[in-house]
Structure formats: C-alpha cells, structure tokens
Structure 1
Amino acid sequence: MTDITPTTSPRTRHIAMLAFPDCQILDVCGPLEVFSFVNCWLHLTCNPDWTAYRFSVIAERAGPIRTMSGLQIIADHDLVDVGDDIDTLLVTGGIGVDRARSNPVLVDWIRSMDQRVRRIGSVCTGAFLLAEAGLLNGRRATTHWHWCQQLAEEYPDIRVEPDRLAIRDGSRYSSGGVTAGMDLALCMIEEDFGPEATAMVGRWLLVFPNRPGGQSQFNVALHNSSGARRDFRELQSWIDAHPEANLSVDALARRMHMSPRNFARLFEREVRLTPARFVEQSRLEKARAWLETSLSPVEMIAEKCGFGGAEAMRRCFQRNFKVSPLVYRSRFRRAGVL
C-alpha cells in the first residue's frame, strides 16, 4: 500500500477552474479528473476520511456554459461569488478565448486573483488570458504548439517555449495543448504529495507520470507560404517533393538564379524560416509519414528523405522530438500497418 504524505499539513486544497463559453471541455475535465484520482486513492486505501482536493468551476455568471463540442458544463460560482479559499486557479482554453480575453471584467478578475491564490495556471490557449492579465510578463510559458508563435508575437515580454508540455515559473504555470493540462495536474500533485503520488495516479489513469518528449512529437509542421512570393511558394513545393535532392543554400540559390547570400535573406523574409530550417522540417515530415504508415527500415527512410544516413536522422529526431525514430514509430504507427 502506498502512503501519500502531504508536504504540508493534511488540509483540503480547493482547485478552481475558470471557464467561458466555447471553452474546450477536456481542458476543464482532464486536469480536474487527474486531481480527483488522489481523492479516490486515499478513500480506497490509506485515509478514507481525508479529501485532498475539492473542485469548483467559475465563470462570469454561474450556471450552464456551452463548450466547443456543444456539451454543457455547470459553473458553480460567478466571479463576485468567489471567496478567499482557492488554493489553485486554472484557466481553460478553447476557441472562445479571444472573446474571453477581450472581456475586461474577466481579465481584471484574473489579475486580482493572482494575489489571492497559491498558484495560478493555464491549460492550452488559456495562456492568452494570463498573458492579457500581465501575469506572464518576464516569465517562461507555453501554450498549444499551433498558437505559440502568436503568443510570442502578441506578448513579446513572455519567453515562450513551444515544445514544453508544462512549465512552472514561480507561482505561474502553463501547459501545452489540451491533454497537456493533465501533465500540468500531475506536476502539481507531485509538488503537493511527492513522486509516489504522481506515479500512482499515472498508473491508474494509464498515462506517463512524466511524459517523455514534448509537443513537437504531435506538431505537424504546416508551411505557411500564403504570403510568400510565387517563386518562393513554388520552391517550397519543389523542396517538399524532392527531400533526397541536394538542398543546400548554394544549390537552392542556383535554382532560383540568385546569389547564396541574397537567396538566404529573401527566403527567410518570405517564408519566415531559414532555408536550412525549412529543409529540415520538410525532411522530418516526410520521415514521420514513412514511420507512421510503413515498416520500411529506418536506413531506407533516412536515405529517401535526404538525411544521408540513419544516425543523422536519429540525431535530427532526438533534437526536434526528444525521441528516436524507432520510438516515434512505436507511438504513432497507424492502425492497419503490419
């Protein structure tokens, strides 16, 4: 039997989730369910009289809230009904976040709660609400990989780390896309009750207590070339179709009838990536597709995708995804691939 020992006195911690219309329901339910499994374990094993966490959902107005999926959740309290007993405030994300961060009442309330809670955090695009409230200025933070660049551009005082699943910077926390809110909850449980509690919850939920890798494993790099010159758009398509070719700056510059220096400067201006980074992303996406849809040897995939050898591809995967090609295949190989 595992003994869960609190790092402080055995009190009940109040976890509150701030929600809004068109929030992501998994952003709300995922972390709260993770916290609730600590209570389940206590009640089933070592201490049926102690509830480690209690929960509430807060919204601008109490009552039903329609989420992105159309399902409704019930907010227990509105903003003016919140007392001073919240230990941890989490802010959800979802497609309604732009309307939410344009609501000065909501943003001002979040800012005021920073001094009333022990820790405050965001799930997925909920980071935009913390950012709008100024709570992430000068701090490290993350959000869903698709919106990391937007977060960094709109709030330049934040040090955005796109590949992280969860980040703590002082009393401010943030997590990546959707299910990463569960990783954030596990991190908080470890702070409260130690690694044994986190391992126990992970076993019960069939998730990694400390998930290896980062968001980049799930990020399919979509080339945004809509604003680029036509000749550069055509070059990007050619690169994607010929990953095995010589794609050095010199070779690409010759293809564009430019000097290497001028080509590199214009490419980065038009595509917002250096030529080398674009080529690497293109080759990585080709390799990912091979690994997900075939059992072809890694050596062959590395050659077809222009890496020059299996070791070079392994280093590239490790650098970008924090896992090897074989581990990536074991996680993401599609059903039906024998």
Structure 2
Amino acid sequence: MQRRVLIVVFPGFQLLDMAGPADVFGTATLIRRDAYQVEVGSVSGGHVTAGNGVPVVTRPLAEVTEPVDTLLVAGGPSVPERLADTALVGQIARLAGGARRTASVCSGAFLLAEAGLLDRRRATTHWLVADDLRSRYSGVDVDADPLYIEDGDVWTSAGVLSGVDLALALVARDHGHGLARNVARGLVVYLHRPGGQSQFSTAMRALTPRSEPLRELQGYIDANPAADLSVPALAARAGMSQRHFSRVFTAQTGMSPGRYVERSRADTPRRLLEVTGLPLDAVARESGLGSPETLYRVFRRHWRISPGDHRRRFQSKER
C-alpha cells in the first residue's frame, strides 16, 4: 500500500522545500511502484505561487480527510506573516494529529512550533533563523547545527536543500538504505548524508578574510591538510609574527587558526571515505590527523558517526 505524503504550502513558499522532497518520493515510486503517493495542499487550494513566482496546483487542506502517512510543511520567506494565519496553522495541527509522522523543511519549523507540535522537542531550522525560532518558542530545544533531527514522530530539517536529505532519510527508514541510495543516484545527488552532519562545511562556517594573504592561506589550509599547519608555520607563511597572525586570523575568519585547521581536517576524511577505498590509516595520514584513533575522535566529534559507519552507508561505488 502506498504511503500518502502531503506537502503543505502557502503563498510565498520556497519552491525547493516542496520540489526537492517531492522528487525524492516520486523517484522512489518510479523505482518501487507502491512506495508513495504525493499531494500538495494549501488552505484555499488551487494555484499557489511560490516565492520565486512559480505557481503550483494544490488541494484544499480541509478536503483532506483520508489518512496521511507523512505530513511535510515547507518553509519560505513569507513564513513570518503566515504565523498569524489561523486557518493554516489549524489545518497543520489537525492533519499532524492523524499522521504517522510530521516533518518540516527550513523555516517550516516555525509553523510546526506555532501549531504546538515542537513543544518540548529538539528541532532544527535554517541557521539564519535559528535564534529567532529559539526566542519566539521557548519550549523548543533548537539545535542549529544538524541537517535534520528526528524527535519521536516529528522531523525537522535545516535550510532548503537539506529537505532532500530529510526525504532520503524518510525513504531509508521506510524502505531501506538501498532504495534511498538508488534514489540519490537517480537524482544525481552526491550522497545521502546523515542528519547528524553539520549544516556547515569549514568554508561555510568561517568568514572570508578581507586580507588577500589570509584568503590565500585559507585556501592553502583546505588544500593541504597533511602539511605543517601549526601556528608558527602558518604565521611564517603569512609573513606575520605568531601573536599578530593569530589575532588577525581570528578577527577576519571568526575562528582561531587551530580551530579552523581542525575543522578543515575534519572535512577531508569525510570526502576521502566517500570517494576512495583508502584504509583508515591512510585516510588519517592524508587528512593530517596522523592515526586512526585521532581520525575516529575527530570524525565522531564533527560528524556524529564513526568513520567506518560513514563509509559503509555513504561511499560511492562509482569512484
């Protein structure tokens, strides 16, 4: 029996918040015919225009009386003004009460919170609006770092394309990782990422330095994780004293040199595990981490999964 997925939208929603998950569920159904039935609903039904001007045909939410397996609420730039839409919030609350699970993409978490669905739950959203979610809804345990979070029967995800990661995780939960991997390949998505992975790569976490020498040094660090990246070595490369270098680097990137190096070295083994067959000791050396033991500690701290588990779940067979 097909699992019914209802995606809730509203005027000004983020098109990718709807289209990304819809394509994941749709591709799963092309591979396995009985996987999902996807519908898009809104308060009034009919054509609803996304924030980028693209219209989408929707079904009135009040007409949805049959069981819903997965209720998924999109986000978008118009969410702040939609929080006062009692009809929308009320329909979300009603439909969630009968759904097996409820999920949101990006700022759709605000609508779940407004409907009372995130009270005393851990949740995530786009990092840009996480502080607003935290301050507006004190009963929600907001974690702005993960790509997606599962807390009981409620799932929340981070910004925009993390909705694809969320949907792939739901497919994996329903039908196994094999189908989720095949869907990812069909959509030419790089890999199905675990929810515990951070929303940010090292480059995204750090500010871009104003100084050209520091921008070049930042690129050098990312490209050469196994090099000597100690503060004395980096300061010498930048032509500065160690004290001045540390102060300027921290001021212009938002993190200390040592913290930037550690995060950059944490990014490298993730890529190597996904696209190479190198043994763990070689991955550790290539990443500048020295030993498998250090690799394990750093990997668990940054990506919340062991190196071996990450490789087994997400390695591309097309390397």
Q: Tell me if both proteins adopt one fold, taking TM over 0.5 as the criterion.
A: yes
- The correspondence for 2:79, drawn from 97, 119, 125, is 97
1:20 partnered with 2:10 = yes
- The correspondence for 2:51, drawn from 37, 61, 68, is 68
Q: Which letter maps to 2:3?
A: R
Describe the SS at the equivalent of 2:163.
Answer: helix
Which residue of structure 2 lines up, in the alignment, with residue 47 of structure 1?
Answer: none
Cα distance, 1:113 vs structure 2: 1.8
Describe the SS at the equivalent of 1:115.
Answer: helix
RMSD value, Cα: 3.5
Cα distance, 1:83 vs structure 2: 1.5
Cα distance, 1:60 vs structure 2: 0.8
Aligned residues: percent identity?
32
Provide the C-alpha distance between the structure 2 equivalents of 1:124 and 1:310, rounded to a whole number of angstroms: 31
Provide the C-alpha distance between the structure 1 equivalents of 2:166 and 2:145, rounded to a whole number of angstroms: 14
Alignment of 1:39-118 (within 5 A): 39-42=29-32, 50-75=33-58, 77-118=59-100
Q: Which letter maps to 2:50?
A: T
Describe the SS at the equivalent of 1:17.
Answer: strand
Cα distance, 1:210 vs structure 2: 2.1
Provide the C-alpha distance between the structure 1 equivalents of 2:30 and 2:217, rounded to a whole number of angstroms: 41
Alignment of 1:1-338 (within 5 A): 11-42=1-32, 50-75=33-58, 77-207=59-189, 208-210=191-193, 213-217=197-201, 219=204, 290-291=218-219, 299=228, 303=234, 304=238, 306=246, 313-317=260-264, 323-324=267-268
Which residue of structure 2 lines up, in the alignment, with residue 280 of structure 1?
Answer: none
Unaligned 5+ segments in structure 1 are 1-10, 43-49, 224-239, 245-285, 329-338
Which residue of structure 1 lines up, in the alignment, with residue 297 of structure 2?
Answer: none
Provide the C-alpha distance between the structure 1 equivalents of 2:93 and 2:216, rounded to a whole number of angstroms: 42
Provide the C-alpha distance between the structure 2 equivalents of 1:206 and 1:219, rounded to a whole number of angstroms: 23
Cα distance, 1:84 vs structure 2: 2.5
Cα distance, 1:108 vs structure 2: 1.5
Change (3 A) 1:222 1:205: same
Describe the SS at the equivalent of 1:112.
Answer: helix
When normalised by structure 2's length, the TM-score is 0.69
Provide the C-alpha distance between the structure 1 equivalents of 2:51 and 2:122, rounded to a whole number of angstroms: 28
Unaligned 5+ segments in structure 2 are 239-244, 251-255, 273-319
Provide the C-alpha distance between the structure 1 equivalents of 2:220 and 2:19, rounded to a whole number of angstroms: 30
Q: Which letter maps to 2:199?
A: Q
When normalised by structure 1's length, the TM-score is 0.65
Provide the C-alpha distance between the structure 2 equivalents of 1:222 and 1:91, rounded to a whole number of angstroms: 31
Cα distance, 1:292 vs structure 2: 8.9
Cα distance, 1:312 vs structure 2: 5.6
Q: Deviations over 1:26-77 (max 9, x none)?
A: 10100010111111113xxxxxxx42111111001111111111111111x1
Change (3 A) 1:169 1:195: same
Q: Which letter maps to 1:187?
A: A
Change (3 A) 1:327 1:314: farther
Describe the SS at the equivalent of 2:149.
Answer: strand
Provide the C-alpha distance between the structure 1 equivalents of 2:45 and 2:206, rounded to a whole number of angstroms: 40
CA contact (8 A) 1:314 1:325 kept: no
Q: Deviations over 1:213-264 (max 9, x none)?
A: 42122745679xxxxxxxxxxxxxxxx768x9xxxxxxxxxxxxxxxxxxxx
Moved more, 51-60 or 308-317: 308-317
Which residue of structure 1 lines up, in the alignment, with residue 299 of structure 2?
Answer: none
Provide the C-alpha distance between the structure 2 equivalents of 1:213 and 1:287, rounded to a whole number of angstroms: 26
Q: How many residues align?
A: 251
CA contact (8 A) 2:68 2:95 kept: no
Describe the SS at the equivalent of 1:39.
Answer: helix
Change (3 A) 1:289 1:56: farther
Q: Which letter maps to 2:54?
A: L
CA contact (8 A) 2:221 2:264 kept: no
Provide the C-alpha distance between the structure 2 equivalents of 1:137 and 1:204, rounded to a whole number of angstroms: 37
Change (3 A) 1:89 1:326: closer
Describe the SS at the equivalent of 1:124.
Answer: coil
